[in-house]
Amino acid sequence: MKRILGLITALLLTTSLICGGVTAHAADAADALHDNTLTVAMECAYAPYNWTQPDDSNGAVPIKDSSDYANGYDVMMAKKIAEELGMDLEIVRLDWDSLVPAVQSGTVDCVIAGQSITSDRLESVDFTAPYFYASIVGLTRVDSPYAQAQGLSDLAGATATSQLGTIWYDSCLPQIADGNILTAQESAPAMLMALETGRVNLIVTDIPTAKAALNAYNDFVLLDFTDTDDNFVVSSEDVNIGISVQKGNTQLKDAINGVLNTMTVDDFNNLMDEAIAVQPLSSGLPQGFLAQIGYLLQNYGDSYAKGAGITVVIAVICTAIGCLIGLVCGIIQTIPCEKQDGVCKKIGLLLARGILRIYVEIFRGTPMILQAVLIFYGAAFLFNINLNMWSAALIIVSVNTGAYMAESVRGGILSIPVGQTEGAKAIGMTHVQTMTNVILPQALRNIMPQVGNNLIINIKDTSVLFIIGVAELFSVHKGVVGATYAYFPSAVIEMGIYLAMTLICSAILRFIERRMDGESEYALVKQTGGLNAPRHTDSKQPKTGNLDLEMKGEH
Amino acid sequence: MSDNNRTIVEVQHLSKSFGPREILKDINFTVKKGDVTTIIGPSGSGKSTLLRCLNLLETPTSGDILFHGQNIEKTMNIPAYRSKVGMVFQSFNLFSNMTVLQNCMVGQEKVLRRDKETARQKAMTYLQKVGMAEYINARPRQLSGGQQQRVAIARALAMEPELLLFDEPTSALDPEMVGEVLAVMQNLAAEGMTMIVVTHEMAFARDVSNHVVFMADGYICEEGNPADLFGNPQNERTKDFLSRFRQN
Ligand SMILES: Nc1ncnc2c1ncn2[C@@H]1O[C@H](COP(=O)(O)OP(=O)(O)OP(=O)(O)O)[C@@H](O)[C@H]1O
Ligand SMILES: [Mg+2]
């Protein structure tokens, strides 16, 4: 029902085709039934199917590697399935685009996340029978001319939008006669914001999303034309919501189907109503922007703080490691290669430089978000290595920073005037001594602004780690917004936190730079008597007249 | 200056090319202990290149440089050799990340492996000699050109080299600072320091050095004691060069 297969899935599929054998690890996932833990992935940001909440109220389940809890229709369904199968339940929070790769690579046992059973997806994963039927409806505001619409034809000429990559946008909106269709929105909360702020008069979505939205926005009106002739035309593929498992894992699929077979459509709808009733903010957001910010800080303050903490820790550690990597690369790149050097040294240096060049170009030249997916899921998919989420995050960001810093360090070293090297050589220093005592201290000082840049970039760019489920600051935003629809207030809070973090980091770095520069003035050290030597500053050059230099001979 | 006849450096058939251009051609000369040799000549004649070949900042294309009879390229450890042959540059080249004192200590500690206290005392001795002992806490950028050059001389002296090379040490200085640096060099000469000085200061060549080498187009055209070379030059190019100098 939501976005179609992401670019990333396509990328992974291509990789897997090249390497041959897509179902190589089916057997591993079947182990799910043996190790007796059912690992279920979902976004935890797609109310009322699944959302994040700060406590375990209403039967919420802890999210793996996080202090938050997940709840919603999917969680309730997952609990029921795990209970019926006599298994322990583990909820993993993943970005929407990572759900298919995660189940494909066997990183998780199944995905219960409001995925519709499309033929595209069926090429990558297997689906159980539907666990919900999500009919298509419209939403508008009470004050809009469409509030009284009785059928699809009454919506003619509406200004409308929906969510990117959904059949709501791709096949339902075009059915509106003379519709003014605006660009698709990146998420359900964003789409609701577009309606609330009056940028559109109509959005099209499924019934659970619409019902949940009615709770949060009390000026919204539901336009449900189901069971009339004047309704959106959709195929069953578009409304059947299923649970996906790894291709060929019939054991798990059959077990889940066994549970679903005992439930009726009414059971599904009742469970969904139950979920909508306990969704955070089911009673509506407080009125007023500041009140909403206050509400979020009060209820999700801990989540924001933890997200910020994780973001800073990852950014600082990775900037440090990245600088070390960059330093090593930069030093290797600038080792002089002279005529008289041995063949081994020359070949070794050439080889090392070639490898470093490739490393720098690849990691500088591709988006970190794709690297994250490839390293995290690729390792599991191709080599059956299940990287811990945190190690993956640290590796990805460090290696990226290293690629940028390698060039900065190289530039920093090359920017030191050649006279410094010659001065050092002339008193007999070796290359290593010259580098450690003279060149690197100066080069490092010169690249401090680059280190600062990288730290700040890392603070912001760790946000792409949500794709592999790291609960950094931006993923907290996604979680909060997915549960509460408080899109705008949460964005303002996040902006404030990011800005505070980057400002503090800049200030600290500038302080370090000043320390590295040393004293801006110096005291003359009188050699014979005379305390209280005058202090000279940079601008006032000391005069040489008072020196008792013995001049022998005249010029 | 000194009647000690020990030869320190002997240059034999030295030549140096940059690509197809031959910059130094069949250079031969000898430096004995206590000699103050000045090298003069028109711009581009290869004076700096010769000096840089002497401590291997440039690798000679052919020919030999003997240090106490040993071929420096073939038999000596290059850093160890350089620690015995100091060099003072036109552009000072003080380490800008260090204070004056650290500049004068780092080579002693890292290259000669002297302990900190010894290095400090030696540094202070030579800084005092060049009149810069008061400025030990200053950084190079906080000093005038003449002061920087005097520190650079102290840095070279602190290594207690057998031979000191100067490449136009006063050319980058404002006129009022030239005197202070020349005075220091003159002092060193008087104390018997062996030096090779590339310079445009004809007065220094004439009055302080005991041997003058005139270079043009990569050749040594003429050499001899200052009185002869300045008083009665034999070579046409030397005459031409010196006459232009007198006019200025
Ligand atoms: N690294 C180099 N590559 C190519 N040519 C060089 C290099 N260094 C010096 N030269 C050339 O060698 C010639 C001699 O240069 P050098 O610096 O030795 O002259 P100089 O006698 O010291 O001149 P000046 O009095 O102006 O300092 C010049 O023509 C110069 O262009
Ligand atoms: Mg020169």
A308 has a pLDDT exceeding 90: yes
pLDDT digits (tens, 9 = 90+) for A451-470: 999 999 999 989 888 888 78
B16 within ligand 1 shell (Cβ under 6 A): no
pLDDT digits (tens, 9 = 90+) for B176-229: 889 889 999 999 999 999 999 999 999 999 999 999 999 999 999 999 999 999
**A551 contact residues in B (CB cutoff 8 A):** 179, 183
Termini Cα distance of chain B: 29
Q: What is the pLDDT of residue A3?
A: 41
Span from the CA of B48 to the centroid of ligand 1 (angstroms): 7
Give the closest-approach CA distance of B105 to chain A in angstroms: 11
Structure confidence at residue A388 as a pLDDT band (50, 70, 90)? confident
**A542 contact residues in B (CB cutoff 8 A):** 135, 143-144, 147
Ligand 1 atom index nearest CA of B218: 14
**B97 contact residues in A (CB cutoff 8 A):** 438, 441-442, 445
A1 has a pLDDT exceeding 70: no
| Rounded-to-integer distance, Cα A53 and Cα A62, Å | 9
> What are the tokens at A171?
């096949």
Q: What is the pLDDT of residue A282?
A: 54
| Between A403 and A543, residue with greater pLDDT | A403
Pairing label, strands B62-67, B7-18: antiparallel
Taking the CB of residue B221, how many other CB atoms lie within 10 A of it? 18
Q: What is the pLDDT of residue A553?
A: 35
CB contact set of B185 (below 8 Å; sequence gap of 6+): B153, B166, B169, B195, B197, B204, B208
The reply to whether A514 touches chain B by the CB within 8 Å rule is: no
Ranking A88-92, A376-380, A490-494, B113-117 by mean pLDDT, the lowest is A376-380
**Ranges of H-type helices in A334-429:** 343-365, 368-383, 389-414, 418-426
Residue nearest (by alpha carbon) to ligand 1 atom 28:
B44
H or E stretch covering B81: helix B78-84
Query: Mean pLDDT in chain A?
Result: 84
| Rounded-to-integer distance, Cα A394 and Cα A390, Å | 6
B46 within ligand 1 shell (Cβ under 6 A): yes
Residue of B nearest to A517 (CA): B97
- The pocket of ion ligand 2, defined by CB under 5 A, consists of B 48
Are B139 and A518 an interchain contact pair (Cβ–Cβ within 8 Å)?
Answer: yes
- Contact assessment for residue A182 and residue A199, using Cβ atoms and an 8 Å cutoff: yes
pLDDT digits (tens, 9 = 90+) for A14-71: 444 344 333 334 344 445 455 789 999 999 988 899 999 888 989 999 999 888 899 9
B247 has a pLDDT exceeding 70: no
A552 has a pLDDT exceeding 50: no
| Rounded-to-integer distance, Cα A170 and Cα A158, Å | 16
Q: What is the pLDDT of residue A373?
A: 84
User: Per-residue pLDDT averaged across A121-138, rounded?
Assistant: 93
3-state helix, strand, coil in chain B (%, to 5): 40, 25, 35
The reply to whether A515 touches chain B by the CB within 8 Å rule is: no
Q: What is the pLDDT of residue A69?
A: 92
Does residue A534 have a cis peptide bond before it, meaning omega lies within 30 degrees of 0? no
A555 has a pLDDT exceeding 70: no
A374 has a pLDDT exceeding 90: no
H or E stretch covering B164: strand B163-167
| Rounded-to-integer distance, Cα A237 and Cα A550, Å | 99
User: Per-residue pLDDT averaged across B26-35, rounded?
Assistant: 93
Ranking A18-32, A383-397, A398-412 by mean pLDDT, the lowest is A18-32
| Rounded-to-integer distance, Cα A139 and Cα A395, Å | 44
The reply to whether A347 touches chain B by the CB within 8 Å rule is: no
Residue nearest (by alpha carbon) to ligand 1 atom 7:
B18
B103 within ligand 1 shell (Cβ under 6 A): no
Residue nearest (by alpha carbon) to ligand 1 atom 5:
B18
Q: What is the pLDDT of residue A535?
A: 42
Structure confidence at residue A529 as a pLDDT band (50, 70, 90)? very low
Q: What is the pLDDT of residue B246?
A: 65
Q: What is the pLDDT of residue A26?
A: 39
Beta-carbon-side half-sphere exposure of residue A490 (alpha carbons within 13 Å): 25
**A423 contact residues in B (CB cutoff 8 A):** 89, 93-95, 152
Taking the CB of residue A455, how many other CB atoms lie within 10 A of it? 24
**B59 contact residues in A (CB cutoff 8 A):** 338-340
**A527 contact residues in B (CB cutoff 8 A):** 128, 133-134
Are B97 and A549 an interchain contact pair (Cβ–Cβ within 8 Å)?
Answer: no
Query: Mean pLDDT in chain B?
Result: 91
Residue A419 DSSP label: H
> Between A and B, how many residue pairs show a Cβ–Cβ distance under 8 A?
135
The reply to whether A429 touches chain B by the CB within 8 Å rule is: yes
Taking the CB of residue A139, how many other CB atoms lie within 10 A of it? 28
Are B144 and A551 an interchain contact pair (Cβ–Cβ within 8 Å)?
Answer: no
Task: Report the share of chain A in percent with pLDDT over 90.
Answer: 52
A367 has a pLDDT exceeding 60: yes
Residue of B nearest to A432 (CA): B110
| Rounded-to-integer distance, Cα A493 and Cα B8, Å | 76
Q: Which ipTM value was assigned to this complex?
A: 0.93
| Between A271 and A218, residue with greater pLDDT | A271
Span from the CA of A474 to the centroid of ligand 2 (angstroms): 60
| Rounded-to-integer distance, Cα B173 and Cα B150, Å | 12
pLDDT digits (tens, 9 = 90+) for A99-118: 998 999 888 999 999 988 88
Task: Report the share of chain A in percent with pLDDT over 70.
Answer: 87
A434 has a pLDDT exceeding 80: yes
pLDDT digits (tens, 9 = 90+) for A475-489: 889 888 888 888 889
Span from the CA of B167 to the centroid of ligand 2 (angstroms): 7
pLDDT digits (tens, 9 = 90+) for B47-95: 999 999 999 999 999 999 999 989 988 888 899 999 999 999 999 999 9
Q: What is the pLDDT of residue A11?
A: 44
Name the CA dihedral angle for B192, B198, B201, B202, rounded to a multiple of 10 degrees.
Answer: 80
Q: What is the pLDDT of residue A530?
A: 36
Structure confidence at residue A13 as a pLDDT band (50, 70, 90)? very low
Residue A529 CA to its chain's centroid (Å): 66
Give the closest-approach CA distance of B140 to chain A in angstroms: 11
Phi-psi region of B218 (alpha: psi -120 to 50; beta: other; left: phi over 0): left
pLDDT digits (tens, 9 = 90+) for B152-172: 999 999 999 999 999 999 988
Best mutation target, A427, A437, A540, to test chain B (most B CBs within 10 A)? A427
A531 has a pLDDT exceeding 50: no
Are A555 and B204 an interchain contact pair (Cβ–Cβ within 8 Å)?
Answer: yes
Are A420 and B177 an interchain contact pair (Cβ–Cβ within 8 Å)?
Answer: no
> What are the tokens at B185?
């060099």
Span from the CA of B169 to the centroid of ligand 1 (angstroms): 16
- Could you tell me the strand order of the sheet in which B21-32 lies? B21-32, B7-18, B62-67, B70-71
pLDDT digits (tens, 9 = 90+) for A170-215: 889 999 999 999 998 888 888 998 998 889 999 999 999 998 888 8
Q: What is the pLDDT of residue A486?
A: 82
Residue nearest (by alpha carbon) to ligand 1 atom 17:
B48
**B131 contact residues in A (CB cutoff 8 A):** 547-549
Q: What is the pLDDT of residue A189?
A: 85
pLDDT digits (tens, 9 = 90+) for A497-514: 999 999 999 999 999 998
Residue A144 DSSP label: S
Residue of B nearest to A446 (CA): B97
- Contact assessment for residue B209 and residue B187, using Cβ atoms and an 8 Å cutoff: no
Are A541 and B107 an interchain contact pair (Cβ–Cβ within 8 Å)?
Answer: no
Ligand that comes closest to the CA of residue B215: 1
Give the closest-approach CA distance of B85 to chain A in angstroms: 8
Structure confidence at residue B5 as a pLDDT band (50, 70, 90)? low
What does the radius of gyration of chain B's CA atoms come to, in whole angstroms? 18
Whose CA is closest to B226, among B51, B9, B37, B42? B37
Span from the CA of B18 to the centroid of ligand 1 (angstroms): 9
pTM above 0.95, yes or no: no
